[in-house]
Amino acid sequence: MAINSLREDKKPEAVVLEKPAAQLSSPVAIRNRERVIFPESSITKGALADYFAQIAPLMLPWAGSRPISLVRCTQGRAKKCFFQKHDAESFGDAVRHIGITEKVCHEEAYLYIDTPEGLLTCVQMGTIEFHGWGVRIEDVEKADRLVFDVDPDEGLDFEAVRSAAFQFRDILASIGLATFPMLTGGKGVHVTAPLTPRADWAEIKDFAHRLAKAVAQNDPEHFTAALPKAQRKGRIFVDYLRNQRGATAVMPYSARARPGAPVAAPLSWKEMETIDKPSHFTIADGKALAKRATSKALSGWGRADQSCPTFENRHL
């Protein structure tokens, strides 16, 4: 399936529903549907809710039953937005919580969802983005994925991101890990290796950190694992920090609080060869996203029976 056939490239201000769409059936009453959430393209809270109602069956297998952090923009994305990860008992019964022990041995209630009602309740409460831990609620100490966020410095074009993503695919394949790309809807691409949840957080973080450093040492002209932004100039930052306890990554099909309402979208590696930018898909593409999720290209996306390997600092 050719990516370019799905929709024409549009500027953020042009990303709007072509005509007023019929309101989709939602398990949650959405108040203030007419409120403009994305001012540059006049996209409303109702349109955002309709997107999530349509995409819920695709999104919940990834975002459901794992601790999540929400990006809430109750007055729209151009106003103050904030992260919320703890249960303030303001969402009702559809948004659940799980007690997780933090560093100081104090238990906090973290949010999770497992139904369309929970997802749409969060949207009703002003949520635009959903970010999830790399674990499921059944065992929050055993990671079920590795995520490498290929994050470009200002000024680098998407060709640099594309090339870096393929390099990571090949590196991880050389040590036995199948990976899957996802457009973040932001600046970069996530290269994700699903895992059978056996390794604990210390093993996952150590592996990710060692691999990121080795990649940066082998190709310092193009990659860096340095945290200070001043040291990333003109290079791709290999963000390994998604792979530690409490860290989150944007969930597949989540909207982003960015101009034009882009969404995080799974891709095949073949599609990755020609995709034009990480914000290619928007909430106006819900129907196309639902259709392509059942395509041969995305069959088995994000699924693999594999474990975190022991890292050896071999030639990459």
List the CATH number of the domain containing 171. Answer: 3.30.70.3300
Residue 90 is predicted with a pLDDT of 81
Say if 261 falls within a structural domain. yes
CA distance 193 to 259: 29
pTM: 0.90
Residue 289 sits in the same domain as residue 162: no
Say if 165 falls within a structural domain. yes
Say if 283 falls within a structural domain. yes
Instruction: Report angle CA 29, 30, 33 to the nearest 5 degrees.
Output: 145
Q: The CATH number of the domain where 283 resides is what?
A: 3.90.920.10
Residue 226 is predicted with a pLDDT of 84
SS3 92: coil
Say if 30 falls within a structural domain. no
Residue 185 sits in the same domain as residue 114: no
CA distance 133 to 249: 7
Residue 192 sits in the same domain as residue 204: yes
| Beta carbons of 97 and 109 less than 8 angstroms apart | yes
Residue 42 sits in the same domain as residue 85: yes
Other CB atoms within a 10 A radius of the CB of residue 170 amount to 11
Question: Shortest CA distance to 44 belongs to which of 66, 27, 23, 67?
Answer: 23
Residue 120 sits in the same domain as residue 175: no
Strand bridging mode 127-132 / 68-72: antiparallel
| Beta carbons of 124 and 49 less than 8 angstroms apart | yes
Tokens of 213: 């450093």
Residue 232 sits in the same domain as residue 278: no
Residue 240 sits in the same domain as residue 251: no
* Cα pseudo-dihedral 302, 303, 309, 312, rounded to 10: -40
Residue 251 sits in the same domain as residue 126: yes
Instruction: Kindly provide the b/e burial profile for residues 244-282, where b requires at least 16 CB atoms within 10 angstroms of the residue's own CB.
Output: bbebbbbbbbbbbbbbbbbbbbbbbeebbeebeebbbbb
Say if 102 falls within a structural domain. yes
Residue 45 sits in the same domain as residue 177: no
Residue 216 sits in the same domain as residue 196: yes
Residue 175 sits in the same domain as residue 239: yes
| Beta carbons of 232 and 187 less than 8 angstroms apart | no
Say if 307 falls within a structural domain. no
One digit per residue, the tens of pLDDT, for the chain of length 316 reads: 333 333 334 444 444 443 334 455 677 999 999 999 999 999 999 999 999 999 999 999 999 999 999 999 999 998 899 999 987 778 889 999 999 998 777 899 999 999 999 999 999 999 999 999 999 999 999 999 999 999 898 889 999 999 999 999 999 999 999 999 999 999 999 999 999 999 999 999 999 999 999 999 999 999 998 888 788 888 998 889 999 999 999 999 999 999 999 999 999 999 999 999 999 999 999 999 999 999 999 999 999 999 998 766 444 5
Region class of 190: left (phi > 0), else alpha (psi between -120 and 50), else beta: beta
Say if 237 falls within a structural domain. yes
Question: Shortest CA distance to 185 belongs to which of 229, 222, 130?
Answer: 130
Residue 71 sits in the same domain as residue 118: yes
Count structural domains, the chain: 2
Say if 12 falls within a structural domain. no
Residue 90 buriedness (CB in 10 A; 0-12 / 13-18 / 19+): exposed
Domain boundaries, position 62: 35-140+247-266+274-295
